Structure 1
Amino acid sequence: MSALDAGFYFIEDENVPMHVGSVLVFEGPVPSYGDVIRLLVSKLPDVPRYRQRVKSLPMHLGRPVWVDDEHFQILYHVRHTAVPAPGGDDQLRNLAGRLFAQRLDLTKPLWEIWLVEGLEGGRWALISKVHHCMIDGIAGTDMMQLVLDWRKDSELSEPRPWTPEPNPSTLDLVADGVRDAVLTPLGHLAAVPALARRLRSGSELLGIGRALAGSLPGTARRLTTRAAGSLNGSLGPHRRWVWAKADLTETKQIRKVTGGTVNDVILAAVTRGFRDLLESRGELSEGMVVRTMVPVSVRSRDQRNKLDNRVSAVLLNLPVSEPDPQARLAAVREQMDDLKSSRQAAGADAITGMANFAAPTLLALGSRTAMRFPQQFLQTVTTNVPGPRVPLYMLGRRLAEIYPYVPIASTMRISVGIFSYLGQITFGINADFDGVPDIQVLADGVRAGFDELLALT
């Protein structure tokens, strides 16, 4: 594992399952469980990680490694269930919330898929869970497109024989881990001369320095503005998971009139959701913000279809105290423009990359300690992943909707996953069950955020 992948693996505990997920809703008729099994078996050669498990080294003398699961059994990973027919959105959301709260078995390949029958209108669903140490949002989209099909009439390929590679001995893994702990930092150091050559003229360094210096006042304001405190707290073992929807065409219409990007409009709508949540609790006050971490993909084109994490992040203040929707959107746009111009995502990626210099034992300890240390610095995570704009199919059935699930950790009780597919934007909002019983207020507020901006334009 890379340092980032290992970090996601290390921070999991009994109240913090660290898998990402999705609910995929298909148009009927529902396939048989056997057909789903046969389809996934035919796809496994394209996703070899699905037949591998994690092996940790004694005393974390090296980062965890992926090894073939000698006892892999797909019937364990693909489950079959149903909601009482005709099941509506609430029944599906409640089922998904219970399943997402359950940890994956860390001794087996880190994924599950649930086939769900009984939905109204003859529909059916898949609930997917994959550990975050295996994929980020973009990798998850790539993987989904490997498992699903672009054509309705695609044929199943014949299963290919698979023989697991013998697992390396613990002694070999320790030796490799110690060697990796030495060679990996040296590999990163080897890139320093190339960086020095790029910066020799000073022009690039000067440009970066000017951009960073120009962004310091805005960054300082973002970090010192008073943030809402009630959104932070301890986490329990259960989750509430709800969703909201928006139309990509209406979002582009708003953007065309107001300027900025589609992502700016989406974040402004999320701001309205948090505003409504805090206002309903009687906690909204002048100048208050909700500080969110916004993951940014640093995955290059040649790194597509690789299962790992290649992500950085920027920090954004959602201006929840601003009553005017246009002013909220303008505030979000100004911050995002500043973040882009200052190259803060690239800087954060460089800082993240420094974890590769850390000894694995310290990496494990540091990851766990950081996520358990109480903090009021961040209130939420807001991650937006673009999906395909053409229909996908599974066993000839059309994928109608997809809703994302993003884990919560540390003291952040709410996360917002955003996904676009076929002209629709969907929001999967995950929350601690005990700490956020009013999560539907946030979901309804997101929808209201789009409605008010659409009315203005």
Structure 2
Amino acid sequence: MARIPLMPITDSMFLIGESREHPMHVGGLQLYTLPDGAGPDYLSQLYHSLVGAEETVQQLFRKRPRRPVGSLGQWSWSTDNQLDMEYHVRFSALPRPGRVRELLELVSRLHGSLLDRHRPLWEFSLIEGLEGNRFATYSKVHHALMDGVSSIILANRALSTDSTTMGMPPVWAVPPIEKAERNGQGGPLALLESLRGMTTDIAGVLPAVVKGAQTALREQASVLPFQAPRTIFNVQITGARRFAAQKWSLDRIKAVRKATGATLNDVVLAMCAGALRRYLLELDALPDRPLISMVPVSLRGKQKRSEASGNSVGAILVNLGTHLADPVERFTQITESAQVAKRSLAELSPLQILALSGLTMAPLAFAPIPGFVNLTPPPFNLIISNVPGAQKPLFWNGAELQGMYPLSIPYDGQALNITITSYAGALNFGLTGCRRNVPHLQRLLTHLEDSLAELEKAVG
């Protein structure tokens, strides 16, 4: 009897919580320079080579929910052995003049559409017509298949540091390192051992919650859920999306880190905090109390950095100090809050951190219930995530990758998401917002630059 691949509850929840207003996929926008000697049919030929290689598609990209439609959610996977590659891989062209503005408008529309649950949960678009002798790719994959860290790992493994390497496979042909491959197929004894370890870990969750509450009462910089003020971001959202993206020199941010002794992520959070303060002041919508950010924390140990499947993310809450006009005071508030949050997780196992993070994130699961968002305070104001990427320039069949920009998931009550990834000496910011409830999203890019310049001046 064939074994039915069960779906972990952490993955299934992303399918259960999805609706037209709440697409649950992550995405990535990549910009490339056309290789030397590329003719007018280069991208057309590339597209036909991509759709003509169905046999190379790895198992991860053949998985689809066993029950595409059901009131109780999806609990197991099935395998699609008859992929329609022309459906999953699309060829698009930008309208003239083919600026980044037109590219972001196209990607915003693509990111707002749901993935078809009757098919494997991924799509890939090859985009021509971008000015500056460039082309782009946009990909999206359901969060039930992988998180943002996994998708970036896999995307990097599909590229090369050698500009002369040709015949490289697309991302769906790169074999991910599955847990089953690393640990063996296991069996009843392995399962019992795993369950025993889980039981031990779960038993420590309640003491951890109590300890966290005690820490929160003792330390002024600590943050608990539902301490966030209500803002224009903490409303019910629609399914349409708007995306804005830009990159900043990593050297500039490292200089601020060195001058302050803080972490790189602290500087990124301070940069975002200053930008959010400016943006909300501009809209006359800045609350008196500080905004609170949920900050995902990867639970992958160093030995698991190459793993590219599933979800392995915890969460902490950080006070962004947006009520403070002075950038130094705001930065101090952020660093102290982040340190307290990290200390509270230091003695916990990954499973315990996941359980506690689940309590932090749990209110998002209730957000679609009519009236919940309007009648309850937000657990936090937005999600800011910083995902490490490749530090050397990468190439795809001779085409140099100029930048990669992550697209993430706004939730009901969380209309804005900021995700950052590093690449080749730069930090690439991707801002994903509800099209209706986050007006003039692109202005946040200008405010991010002003915020960084303010930090440089303050610590220089």
> Which TM-score band applies after superposition, normalised by the shorter structure?
0.7 to 0.9
Change (3 A) 1:345 1:113: farther
Equivalent residues in 2 for 1:25-40 (5 A)?
25-29=31-35, 31-38=42-49
1:75 to 65, 86, 95: 86
The answer to whether residue 416 in structure 2 is matched with residue 414 in structure 1 is yes
Tell me which residue corresponds to 1:24. Answer: 30
TM-score, structure 1 normalization: 0.82
Tell me which residue corresponds to 1:66. Answer: 77
1:87-131 per-position Cα deviation (integer Å, ceiling 9, x unaligned)? 112111111101101111111111111111111111110011111
2:157 to 142, 146, 149: 146
Give distance in 1, aligned partners of 2:23 and 2:271: 28
Amino acid at match of 1:14: R
Equivalent residues in 2 for 1:276-295 (5 A)?
276-286=278-288, 288-295=289-296
The answer as to whether partners of 1:408 and 1:431 remain within 8 angstroms in 2 is yes
Amino acid at match of 2:29: V
Deviates more, 1:111-120 or 1:51-60: 51-60
Tell me which residue corresponds to 2:176. Answer: none
CA apart distance, 1:448: 1.2
The answer as to whether partners of 2:229 and 2:287 remain within 8 angstroms in 1 is no
Give distance in 2, aligned partners of 1:38 and 1:315: 45
Q: Secondary structure at the match of 1:32?
A: helix
Change (3 A) 1:207 1:69: closer
1:249-280 per-position Cα deviation (integer Å, ceiling 9, x unaligned)? 01010111112111100000100111012111
Give distance in 1, aligned partners of 2:329 and 2:147: 32
Equivalent residues in 2 for 1:160-239 (5 A)?
189-191=195-197, 213-218=214-219, 222-223=223-224, 225=227, 227-239=229-241
Tell me which residue corresponds to 1:297. Answer: 298
The answer to whether residue 337 in structure 2 is matched with residue 335 in structure 1 is yes
Q: Secondary structure at the match of 1:242?
A: strand
Tell me which residue corresponds to 2:250. Answer: 248
The answer as to whether partners of 2:209 and 2:356 remain within 8 angstroms in 1 is no
Tell me which residue corresponds to 1:431. Answer: 433
Give distance in 1, aligned partners of 2:122 and 2:60: 10
CA apart distance, 1:157: 6.8
Equivalent residues in 2 for 1:48-63 (5 A)?
48-56=59-67
* Structure 1 vs Structure 2 CA RMSD: 3.6
Give distance in 2, aligned partners of 1:46 and 1:253: 43
The answer as to whether partners of 1:404 and 1:418 remain within 8 angstroms in 2 is yes
| Number of residue-to-residue matches in the alignment | 422
CA apart distance, 1:70: 2.8
Q: Secondary structure at the match of 2:236?
A: coil
The answer as to whether partners of 1:291 and 1:316 remain within 8 angstroms in 2 is yes
TM-score, structure 2 normalization: 0.81
Tell me which residue corresponds to 1:14. Answer: 20
Q: Secondary structure at the match of 2:96?
A: strand
Aligned sequence identity (%):
29
1:197-241 per-position Cα deviation (integer Å, ceiling 9, x unaligned)? xx9xxxxx9999978744543478633655243221111121111
Q: Secondary structure at the match of 1:116?
A: strand
Change (3 A) 1:219 1:352: farther
CA apart distance, 1:332: 0.7
The answer as to whether partners of 2:127 and 2:137 remain within 8 angstroms in 1 is yes
* Uncovered stretches (5+) of structure 1, i.e. residues with no partner: 163-179, 200-204, 357-364
Change (3 A) 1:382 1:438: same
The answer as to whether partners of 1:3 and 1:355 remain within 8 angstroms in 2 is no
1:5 to 6, 11, 16: 11
CA apart distance, 1:71: 2.1
Give distance in 2, aligned partners of 1:413 and 1:67: 33
CA apart distance, 1:284: 2.3
Give distance in 2, aligned partners of 1:305 and 1:329: 34
